[in-house]
Structure 1
Amino acid sequence: MAEPNTTLAELITESGMSWAGLAKRVNNLGTDEGQALRYDYTAVGRWVKQGQKPRGITPTLICRVLSERLGRTIRPHDIGMEGMDSLAARGLQYSPDPEITLDTIRDLGAAYSAGAFNAPFILAALAAPSRDWLLASFEELESERGPRVIGMKQVAGIRDMFSLFQEMDVMRGGGHARTALISYMNTTVIPLIRRDHQPDVQAALYDAAAEQAYLIGWMAYDDGEHGLAQRYLIQALRLSQAAGNQVLGAHVLAGMSDQANLLGHSYEAVALARAGLHGITAHDSAACYADLGILEARALARLGDARAATKALNRAETTFNMIDQDNEPEWARFIDRAYFYGEAAQCFRDLQQPTEIDRFADLSIQECQAQRRARRGGLSQAAVAMAHIQRNDIDAAAENAKIVVRLTASVNSSRCLEAVTDLQRSLKPYASVQGVQEFNRDASQMLGLVA
């Protein structure tokens, strides 16, 4: 037998609202979020008397209504409505309150660590966060901000941990240390932020937390956990606004663009990259601006617009050559020759221009070999293999494909695994070629071990 939701009933009574009034306000907020909700007093009655839990973003909207009326923050667990659907929906929201953002990051991490998070990537959720961030960044530009002095040892420690985990991601792949980073975020970073701090220190802590939330999202993306990745990236975008760090926000949008393009949503990927480009200038961070530019080019290439893609790539390369790493943030360190030229090679792979693939991929591979970066090296080597397939040089394609398998076996990255399976599909018509048979044998063995 269903049990009544007494906590919700008590809060509604305290707020002084009628059931009909609550339903009407929830519907109005839903309209603001692009949701056509049709609740009335009977629906609220079912929530209260029968303990029914509405799906989607409705629990979050109920909390917003009650928070407005009561003058304090009400969260889904306060009204007895926190469940998987509610958390998944909350993870897609760009909250007006950074405290709710911290709650969301904590709850996402707890659910993932417990093996209880399994939510899809939602295309429709991409537009609002980038819009809200861009509007907030323009407001920030119009205000006067003095220099920030960050002196807390804890902030420095968080940044040191970020550097360590980013290095693990770059060298070993997104699946290598993500669980450990989530645990560090939930047990150390979030509790520290919630202490009382001076405004400049509070902003620095939001900044460090945004970096780590982004990195968790990026690791999840690289490991194929796209629903989790999307939610962490949206929350990282919100924290970057709380920190007043427009460049970091643009960097998060770059990650969101990269993910959207990988999942086949290239129009949205272009829009996200351009939102980032509109929010900052090359003088704010040449590395971030170049990254946004190359990701815009990649999405345009996926759309088959060779002229626009080449133009965007050329602009990005000009900016890339302006980078002074001494003046860039730690999170931008990966935006180097190995990365940038590897992304350029992927552009020309999609445009089927093998000569240009070779030119840029070779530059990337040289850097990857010097740095012993297997993930990026594998992705760039896969582009070389595709260039040989486009030339119909199957023997050379197979030899390069075997190198991709060897590099992929040393990292934990679903993107590298997808590169291997993509090569298998592309080489399927040539299954009788000995080199292809050897590649397929190596790939099947490696993929079997991963599974």
Structure 2
Amino acid sequence: MYRESGWTLRQFAQAVNRIGTEHGTPLKYQQPSVHQWLGGHLPKESVRPLILEALARRLNRPVTRDEAGFPTLPQPHSRPTTAEELIDLGRQDMDPSRRKLLAAGLYSAALSVPAFSALVSEASADDHDRLTRPTGRIGPGEVDTVRRMTGKIADILDELGGGHARPMAAAFLVNTVAGYLHADASDEVHRNMLSAASDLTYLTGWMAMYERAHGLGQTYYLHALDLARESNDQLTYCRTLRGMSLQASHLRYGRKALEYANSAAEAAPQAGPRLVAFLRGQQAHASAMVGDRQGARAMLKEAETALSRADSRRDAVGGYDQAAFLFHVSHVHYESRDLAASIKTLRHSIRVMSPLERQGRLHAHAVLAQRQYELGHLEEACASWGRFLDDYEVLSTARGDEHFDKLRSLSVPRASPVVRDLHNRISTVAKLKAA
């Protein structure tokens, strides 16, 4: 960072001294002190925030303790802010050499998340006061920029897959949103920016989950919860919990999935009908996973009723529509071991799915094929796998890779032309993906 700044040792010392004067603690550092810092000598703890601020102003971007090589103190008051932690996480996620290591992080099935009401009372303005101000003042326009970009990234996710969309989201978080979070703003604008950042962080966690980086996805989700709490955004908080429930259900942690789904529902007593449907659908799936068929049916009925009351608008992030509802119905049938009903409902879900949702369609066709194969309908399964491959060829998605690996590992007899054609197609796609 010193080399990037273009400073001389004297200029670096002067910048730190100026900020010390601004904060009411005049300093008289000179070149030898800076030379020692660059050689690895840690400056006094009280001076470290001033050095970070000086670098942030010079480089016109946030600079965290971790990036500067300063240890994080164990005292609660010196805990890095949510924004700082998010910057470090996003910066690592942008780095291809670090991304694989991040993706290997472990998912914690023992994690407990407090209710929203228990957290709101703990929120304060302390984090805002501790942030640096390298990017001037922001207003409603910057909040709108983050929300619009989040919608665009969600569109790219649907059209091209998370492999392309998530690095973009991480880069936008680090290079733009982090600066906005550190900028001066009115209380209302700052809260709205925290809320918008929470939405984007939730989406990034969603993509990490679908890219099979479950530990990383969980970490993004936790940061989204923190941002939602700080902004008092109850709806984003509950929507993130619902995403955590979906992740737990995918990993077959039924009890944990139900716990998160119920917590999400409790966090949104004033939610609109579309979000209510969203939450009840996930509660139904999780209830079926733990053997509560009656509870699952009751939740599905509530979800259907709520969805019928929703307006025609669909949120870019975490949206819920008829196709998503039918997907939940299909899951409940499957957990209840009614394969035929599950397949029929899943077909209906695919028929009403938006043609723009290629990511969702890819996943749905793969799940449909697996269930058809499980029921013994081999040729129908081959046709569904063929439709899955149509989307998989052009999408960059680890969820697609997971389905493709399962498909290649199946021992399917090549007795019919349909099966032989599928095997030939699998070989062609495998060569294409390896190129």
What is the TM-score of this pair, normalised by structure 1? Answer: 0.71
Q: CA deviation at 1:429?
A: 5.3
Structure 2: gaps (5+ residues): 1-38, 49-63, 124-137
Backbone CA RMSD of aligned residues: 3.3
Give the alignment of 1:335-350 within 5 angstroms. Answer: 335-350=320-335
Contact kept, 8 Å, 2:343 with 2:372, in 1: the verdict is: no
C-alpha distance in structure 2 between counterparts of 1:262 and 1:397, whole Å:
21
- Look up the SS of the partner of 1:153 in the other structure: helix
Aligned to 1:449: 432
Given candidates 370, 378, 389, the residue that maps to 2:362 is: 378
Match in the other structure for 2:256: 268
Closer/same/farther in 2, CA of residues 316 and 214 from structure 1, 3 Å limit: same
Tell me the secondary structure at the aligned position of residue 103 of structure 1: helix
Partners of 1:448 and 1:300 lie apart in 2 by 41
Matched-pair contact (CA < 8 Å) for 2:66–2:88: no
Contact kept, 8 Å, 1:374 with 1:408, in 2: the verdict is: no
Specify the alignment match of 2:84 in structure 1: 103
Do structure 1's residue 224 and structure 2's residue 212 form an aligned pair? yes
Does residue 409 (structure 1) correspond to residue 393 (structure 2)? The answer is yes
2: distance between equivalents of 1:431 and 1:77?
Answer: 56
Which of 392, 397, 412 pairs up with 2:376?
392
Q: 2:281 touches 2:299 (CA, 8 Å); kept in 1?
A: yes
Structure 1: which amino acid aligns with 2:362? G
How far does the alpha carbon of each residue in 1:346-386 deviate from its partner, in whole angstroms, 9 at most, with x for none? 33334332332234223321223x52422222222234324
Sequence identity percentage: 22
Conserved 8 A contact 2:365-2:385: yes
| CA spacing shift, 1:392–1:305, aligned 2, 3 Å | farther
CA distance in 1, matches of 2:282, 2:316: 20
Corresponding residue for residue 19 of structure 1: none
Aligned to 2:231: 243
On the 8 A contact 1:121/1:230 being kept in 2, the answer is no
Which residue pairs with 1:63 in the alignment? none
Cα pair 1:337 1:363 within 8 Å, conserved: no
Which AA in structure 2 matches 1:320? Answer: L
The answer to whether 1:320 aligns with 2:302 is no
Correspondence for 2:200 among 212, 230, 246 = 212
> CA 1:304–1:340 in structure 2 vs 1: closer, same or farther (change >3 Å)?
same
- Residues 389/337 of structure 1: CA separation in 2 closer, same or farther (3 Å cut): same
Shift of residue 239, structure 1, vs aligned partner:
0.3
The one-character-per-residue Cα deviations of 1:394-423 (angstroms, maximum 9, x if unpaired) are: 222222222122222232222233234445
Query: Displacement, 1:123?
Result: 1.3
Q: Does 1:285 align with 2:272?
A: yes
After superposition, the Cα gap between the structure-2 partners of 1:256 and 1:134, relative to the gap in structure 1 and judged at 3 Å, is: farther
Task: Give the whole-Å Cα distance in 1 for the aligned partners of 2:337 and 2:428.
Answer: 29
Q: Distance in 1 between matches of 2:393 and 2:77?
A: 43
Segments of structure 1 that go 5 or more residues without pairing to the other structure are: 15-73, 141-149
Distance in 2 between residues matched to 1:381 and 1:342, nearest whole Å: 11
Count of matched residue positions in the alignment of Structure 1 and Structure 2: 361
Question: Which residue in 1 is equivalent to 2:108?
Answer: 123
